[in-house]
Amino acid sequence: MTRFRGGLSGTGLVKRFRRGAETVSALAGVDVAVAAGEFVALVGPSGSGKSTLLALLCGWETADEGRLAYSGDLAGRRPDTFGWPELALVPQALGLVADLSLADNVLLPARLRGSLAAELPRARALLADFGLDHLADRYPAQASLGEQQRVAVARALLLRPAVLLADEPTAHQDRGHADRLLDAVTEAARGGSAVLIATHDELAWARADRVLSMRDGHLAEGVPS
Ligand SMILES: Nc1ncnc2c1ncn2[C@@H]1O[C@H](COP(=O)(O)OP(=O)(O)OP(=O)(O)O)[C@@H](O)[C@H]1O
Ligand SMILES: [Mg+2]
Low-confidence ranges of the chain (pLDDT < 50): none
Atom of ligand 1 lying closest to residue 214 CA: 21
Q: What is the pTM of this model?
A: 0.96
Q: For ligand 1, pick from 18, 25, 50 the residue to mutate: most ligand atoms within 8 Å of CB.
A: 50
Q: What is the pLDDT of residue 158?
A: 98
Q: For the chain, which domains are there?
A: 8-221 (3.40.50.300)
Proximal ligand: closest to the CA of 42: 1
What's the pLDDT tens digit per position in 130-167?
A: 999 999 999 999 999 999 999 999 999 999 999 999 99
Other Cβ atoms less than 10 A from the Cβ of 13: the count is 26
What's the one-letter identity of residue 175? R
Rounded to 10°, the helix 116-129/175-190 angle is 140
Which residues have CB under 6 Å of ligand 1? 17, 19, 24, 26, 44, 46-52, 92
Q: What is the pLDDT of residue 225?
A: 78
Q: What is the pLDDT of residue 187?
A: 97
Rounded to 10°, the helix 102-112/116-129 angle is 140
Q: What is the pLDDT of residue 1?
A: 62
Q: What is the pLDDT of residue 220?
A: 96
Task: State the number of CA atoms in the 13 A half-sphere of 134 facing the CB.
Answer: 1
Q: Are 6 and 72 in contact (CB under 8 A)?
A: yes
47 CA to centre of ligand 1 in angstroms: 5
As a whole number of angstroms, the distance between CA 193 and CA 37 comes to 5
